[in-house]
Amino acid sequence: MAGKVVHFEIPVDDGERASAFYGHSLGWQLEREGPLEYWTTPAGEGEGIGGALTKRDPQAPGLALYIEVDDIDKTLIAIEASGGRRLTERLPIPTVGWTAFFTDTEGNRLGLFQADASAGSGMGNAASFG
């Protein structure tokens, strides 16, 4: 369903400390994903959303919410037409999909997500690059 929040990221300074905090206080089961400073938590049963703790980026402070859309390029055009501001063009998440960032009219930074297993392969959604 387009328009649904599908993922969140909480910026942290110390991933191990934050993972322990959320595990003990909220019962989250967090797993470090690969060599990156990125700890994921599963979506849970049903229609829940997944999320992660991620190393704090001084250029992108605050919580990140990702909203699923059918077409990132069209959505970015609509965001700008409605008074929002595009922060990035769409970026590939290889074999998963596309992401892009924008600010709303209140200055909140949000992410978009478009599912596309061919993203990053040079084959994904070429028609919308123009």
Tell me the residue range of the domain where 80 lies: 69-130
Tens-place pLDDT, residues 64-121: 889 999 999 999 999 999 989 999 999 999 999 999 999 998 788 889 999 999 998 8
Q: Provide the number of structural domains found in the chain.
A: 1
Say what the pTM is: 0.72
Look at strands 97-103 and 50-55 and give their pairing. Answer: unpaired
Question: Does the residue 58 lie in any domain?
Answer: no
Task: Return the pLDDT at 126.
Answer: 38
Question: Does the residue 23 lie in any domain?
Answer: no
What's the CATH code of the domain at 115? 3.10.180.10
Of 77, 62, 81, 61, residue with least CA distance to 112: 77
Question: Does the residue 25 lie in any domain?
Answer: no
Q: What contacts 105, CB < 8 A, 6 or more positions away?
A: 82, 83, 84
CA distance 130 to 19: 42
CA distance 130 to 119: 16
What's CA 12's distance to the chain center, in Å?
A: 15
